[in-house]
């Protein structure tokens, strides 16, 4: 009886001390009726965060706006990464999220490659927007779904079904419609956009490879990716 | 490399001058907000990829751009011409088809 009571008391204490978020596995094992909708919810949150980030960056970096004297993408990127590091460490300190910060040199090298891809992706994206019109960049970026699907089939052995390939073709066709009136050719722009598309496709597939094959949690990846990105931008 | 190019074109000096002399409370608030949204983007990216596949994430990225175009049309009337409307509708159909294909895949795996 006593042991039953003690184990119950321990589990209550344990659940009180447990952080709000550990990793995606802790989310999946939580007993919630919305469990099967987690990936959709995370996808919607990503859309919200990404659209807000685009609009905020546009306001800060706009050459005609209130902050026109500040137009350095690199400094803004560095600030964003530093804020991310501080916030993550703050949350970890107060046990809101839990993740390990002591990782081996081999894992640092793995995350370093991810950060290199991230920096190439961001830099080449900025160059492609500079040399090509937005609809052209949009067309190539939307065609990225096909490249990601091919890389996923090669590296992760996820062979797409006929229906998946068909739906990706419809998506590409949709972006062709949007860019019909803006077709143009600029060699530097095309090279930049090719780098941007390939690096971001490799970036997505590589994250999946790391998360699948090694024991690094998502938050550890976010933390070290931000730290190393600052180093690579400055370097 | 990036910092070197910004030093050469002078944008880093202008930004430094702005930070030490002309920066305001609203500027730093926006930078802070942009930092928070940046964390949101990376965390949700990694979480989504751990739960799903890179192709699904790329499709979500396309649907995000479509919704961005749609919002631009609603708020700023920025989309004009039949090509843009066709682009939004066809792209959305592709996204819905992909969603159905994933649903069918899950049902098959469950069987």
Residue A36 pLDDT grade (very low, low, confident, very high; cuts 50, 70, 90): low
Interface contact flag, A60 B6, Cβ < 8 Å: no
Instruction: Please name the member of B42, B54, B88 whose beta carbon is closest to the beta carbon of A148.
Output: B54
How much is the pTM?
0.80
- Tens digits of residue pLDDT in A47-102: 889 888 887 887 877 767 677 677 677 788 888 888 999 999 998 888 888 888 87
Which residue ranges make up each domain of chain A?
64-234
Instruction: Please name the member of B22, B51, B93 whose beta carbon is closest to the beta carbon of A170.
Output: B93
Please tell me the predicted confidence (pLDDT) of residue A12: 46
Interface contact flag, A148 B58, Cβ < 8 Å: yes
Could you give the residue ranges of the DSSP H alpha helices within chain A? 2-17, 24-29, 38-61, 73-93, 105-131, 134-142, 144-155, 162-179, 187-213, 218-234
B60 with B48: CB under 8 angstroms? yes
- Tens digits of residue pLDDT in B55-106: 899 888 888 887 777 776 676 665 556 777 777 788 888 888 888 888 777 7
Instruction: Search chain A and give the residue with CA nearest B1.
Output: A235
A69 with B14: CB under 8 angstroms? yes
With beta carbons under 8 A apart, name residues in chain B contacting A138: 65
- Tens digits of residue pLDDT in A115-148: 889 888 887 877 777 777 777 777 788 888 899 9
Q: What is the DSSP string of A132-152?
A: S-HHHHHHHHHTHHHHHHHHH
Instruction: Please name the member of B12, B18, B69 whose beta carbon is closest to the beta carbon of A74.
Output: B12
Q: Find, among B59, B31, B110, B39, the residue nearest to A43 by Cα.
A: B59
Instruction: Search chain B and give the residue with CA nearest A167.
Output: B94
A103 vs B22, which has greater pLDDT? A103
The pLDDT of residue A13 is above 90: no
Mean pLDDT of B15-20: 71
Give the pair of three-digit tokens for residue B21. Answer: 């002399």
Interface contact flag, B15 A226, Cβ < 8 Å: no
Residue B38 to residue A89: CA distance in whole angstroms? 15
Residue B8 pLDDT grade (very low, low, confident, very high; cuts 50, 70, 90): low
The pLDDT of residue A153 is above 90: yes
ipTM for the whole predicted complex goes beyond 0.85: no
B1: closest CA of chain A, how far (Å): 6
Interface contact flag, B95 A119, Cβ < 8 Å: no
Instruction: Search chain A and give the residue with CA nearest B12.
Output: A72
Q: How many A-B residue pairs are in contact by the CB < 8 A criterion?
A: 255
Residue A12 to residue A112: CA distance in whole angstroms? 40
């Amino acid at each position: 009886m006593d042991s039953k009571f003690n184990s119950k008391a321990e589990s209550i204490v344990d659940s009180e001390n447990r952080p709000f978020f550990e990793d995606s596995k802790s989310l999946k094992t939580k007993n919630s009726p919305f469990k099967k909708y987690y990936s959709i919810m995370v996808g919607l949150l990503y859309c919200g965060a990404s659209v807000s980030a685009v609009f905020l960056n546009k306001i800060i970096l706009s050459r005609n706006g209130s902050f026109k004297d500040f137009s350095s993408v690199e400094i803004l990127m560095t600030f964003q990464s530093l804020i991310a590091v501080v916030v993550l460490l703050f949350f970890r300190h107060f046990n809101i999220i839990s993740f390990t910060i002591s990782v081996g040199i081999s894992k640092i090298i793995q995350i370093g490659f991810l950060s290199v891809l991230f920096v190439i992706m961001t830099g080449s994206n900025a160059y492609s927007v500079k040399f090509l019109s937005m609809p052209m960049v949009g067309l190539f970026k939307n065609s990225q779904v096909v490249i990601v699907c091919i890389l996923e089939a090669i590296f992760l052995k996820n062979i797409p079904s006929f229906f998946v390939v068909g739906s990706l073709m419809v998506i590409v066709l949709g972006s062709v419609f949007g860019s019909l009136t803006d077709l143009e050719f600029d060699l530097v722009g095309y090279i930049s956009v090719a780098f941007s598309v390939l690096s971001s496709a490799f970036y997505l597939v590589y994250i999946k490879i790391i998360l699948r094959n090694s024991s690094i949690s998502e938050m550890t990846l976010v933390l070290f990716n931000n730290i190393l990105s600052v180093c690579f931008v400055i370097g | 490399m990036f910092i070197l190019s910004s030093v050469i074109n002078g944008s880093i000096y202008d930004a430094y001058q702005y930070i030490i002399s002309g920066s305001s409370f609203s500027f730093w608030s926006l930078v802070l907000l942009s930092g928070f949204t940046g964390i949101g983007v990376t965390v949700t990216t990694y979480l989504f990829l751990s739960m799903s596949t890179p192709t699904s994430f790329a499709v979500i990225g396309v649907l995000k751009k479509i919704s961005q175009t749609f919002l631009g049309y609603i708020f700023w009337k920025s989309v004009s011409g039949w090509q843009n409307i066709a682009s939004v509708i066809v792209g959305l159909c592709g996204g819905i088809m992909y969603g159905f294909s994933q649903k069918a895949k899950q049902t098959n795996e469950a069987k």
